[in-house]
Structure 1
Amino acid sequence: MSRVTQVAKVADRERTAARLLKSSADKFYDPLVDIDWDAPVVAGKHYHPEHRVSLYGTDLWDRMTPEQRIELGKHEIASIASNGIFFEVLLMQMLLKQVYKHDPTSDHVHYMLAEIADECRHSTMFGKACKRFGAPAYGPPWWVKQLAKALPVFGQGPSAYAAILVAEEVLDRMQREHMNDESLQPLIRMVNRIHVLEEARHVTFARQEVVQGMAGAGPVARHYHRALTAVVSYFVMLCLVNPKVYAAVGLDPKVAARAARENPHFRATLHYWGERIMKFLDEAGLVGGPTMPLWRKAGLVKK
């Protein structure tokens, strides 16, 4: 990379960071203050649109009562939210490592610190939502947690941002639908509205890092980033709905999880949630080649 290109890249980063910092200062929420956690749960309202629940359209779904369907939606949202916490903590670790490497007087670093503060509030918000609805913080399986310890070590450059973008933008696509759905619990809609507003800044920042990083990557680095992005994205999608949620409504977790994996309605939902980020990753050169079976298995590319 030439000296001129490096200077232009830093200047572009600084302009974006300065703009995002101003946005962060102008509009942010404190979930401990801005959400009424004591508001009553509304009887009969859903936590998750029925057509987005993993078993929707299956024989198991047809045999469930309306109450069981609402309860399953609640537990699936708790699983997705607690996985959101898990991936936000990984993101914060990676951002803190970047803070060490860059000029602490720069707007670029100041915005990374602002994003970390946002993610701390979001993790608190998701945790309190699970607690308010009486659902466990399922999170990913223990073995995924162990594997994920390596991500802040191996996740460097554009693939680190790209993998986290998959988690962020899949949630964002889901939450944009939720926040406008009046059939859902008011608390669910408020949590989603806050996250969508603040996550838009994070997506802008991460997308720029991906584009700039891939523009400067050589052939070997491009293959590495493509492979790591696919692997992490597969685990993101695999973990969204923990099989333990099915036991909460009296179903056999193994049987129900298999039905969900084979459910064309749920695969269509996964594809819909990932449609926008997959278009971006493809344009950035991060999709293709030997990684395609993983993308298909994750439900982000149609079989």
Structure 2
Amino acid sequence: MTTAITKASTTATEEEVIQDALGLLKDREQVAERLLESSAKHSFDPDTELDWDAPLEDGKWFWPPELLSLYDTPLWRKMSDDQRIELSKHEAASLASIGIWFEIILMQLLTRHIYDMSLTSAHVRYALTEIADECRHSKMFARMITHSGAPTYPVSRAHHNLGRIIKTISTTPGSFAATLLGEEILDWMQRQTFPDERVQPLVRGVTRIHVVEEARHVRYAREELRRQMVKAPRWEAELTRVSSGEAARVFSIAFVNPQVYTNVGLDRTEAVRQARDSAHRRDVMRLGAKRLTDFLDEIGLMRGLGRRLWVSSGLLA
């Protein structure tokens, strides 16, 4: 769908173009009602759904090896099987930690989004339902980290404070673009994880729950971002392009905390370099982001400086 509105149009006024584009969007209340129905049928309580008392299984991964940052690097080829599995445990903990950080930001963005809306609308009710989902997810990720025996891996102080700014001043389309960035890449990785029998059963259970519930969150965010981009003034559309590109750059840097490498006995500087230079790693990250980048391109967010920032993040070729 083309959402760009240009002064060159001679067949329709700007208002008519907007109305045509809005006509292609799903009705906001209808989308919310369907998502509420799905939530009622397919929501989970991780505290009772998962077996937290089961011991970890020897020789099983905490994340598929092909998705690890050092897979198929010279360092990887020197590591023992036990050290590789240990790396998977710490990278899974790092991803869960960034997931909690991101979901806390997302919950605040959602409350800001609905603050001025009709509190009895289905759209608002679904936003509150999603916030409840994210609360459960954050607790689930924290409990998984503890159960694995790995430490938490908070983002850097600079990124922590940047998140504080974003959740306070982000415009509505910028909020949903950032939401999709945090949701879709991890969702793609988790879809590779939950059916993988090489992975710890608890981790597979956690990712299964997250994938099922996150599909609704992605639908909600995509529909709302489409709607917002159709109506956004030019300055806000450009700001969203730049902010989403910068968010992609930050996200790609924060994805794996470098302390992971130190904690598994690797040379931190060399590990960071090899992960950064790994062609396999670049392919994984771009593949994980492709569905999202295609969508953002479709709605007009992959242009100019914003696109260059996405390329510099490594998430877009």
**Same fold flag (TM > 0.5):** yes
Question: Which letter maps to 1:78?
Answer: A
Residue ranges of structure 2 left out of the alignment (5+ in a row):
1-13
Alignment of 1:46-195 (within 5 A): 46-195=61-210
Q: How many residues align?
A: 302
TM-score by length of 2: 0.91
Alignment of 1:138-287 (within 5 A): 138-287=153-302
Matching residue of 1:25: 40
Matching residue of 2:9: none
% of aligned pairs identical?
43
**Partners of 2:25 and 2:226 within 8 A in 1:** no
**Partners of 1:166 and 1:277 within 8 A in 2:** yes
Give per-residue Cα distances to partners, 1:200-258, cap 9 Å, x unaligned: 00000000011011111232221111011111122122111000000111012222111
Question: Which letter maps to 2:131?
Answer: I
Post-superposition offset of 1:174:
0.2
CA distance in 2 between counterparts of 1:225 and 1:7 reads 19
CA distance in 1 between counterparts of 2:239 and 2:22 reads 26
**Partners of 1:139 and 1:239 within 8 A in 2:** no
Question: Which letter maps to 1:109?
Answer: V
Runs of 4+ in structure 1 off by over 3 angstroms are 1-11
Residue ranges of structure 1 left out of the alignment (5+ in a row):
none
Moved more, 180-189 or 289-298: 289-298
Question: Which letter maps to 2:286?
Answer: H
Task: Rate the CA distance shift 1:297–1:8 in 2: closer, same or farther, 3 A.
Answer: closer
**Partners of 1:90 and 1:152 within 8 A in 2:** yes
**Partners of 2:241 and 2:307 within 8 A in 1:** no
Question: Which letter maps to 2:228?
Answer: G
Match of 1:289 among 297, 301, 304: 304
Matching residue of 2:5: none
CA distance in 2 between counterparts of 1:40 and 1:247 reads 26
Q: Secondary structure at the match of 1:286?
A: coil
CA distance in 2 between counterparts of 1:180 and 1:150 reads 37
**Partners of 2:193 and 2:204 within 8 A in 1:** yes
For the aligned residue pairs, the C-alpha RMSD in angstroms reads 2.0
Matching residue of 2:11: none
Post-superposition offset of 1:9:
10
Q: Secondary structure at the match of 1:242?
A: coil
Question: Which letter maps to 1:151?
Answer: I
**Partners of 1:20 and 1:111 within 8 A in 2:** yes
CA distance in 2 between counterparts of 1:10 and 1:264 reads 38
Question: Which letter maps to 1:142?
Answer: R
Post-superposition offset of 1:8:
7.3
TM-score by length of 1: 0.95
Give per-residue Cα distances to partners, 1:11-38, cap 9 Å, x unaligned: 9111111111111111100111111111
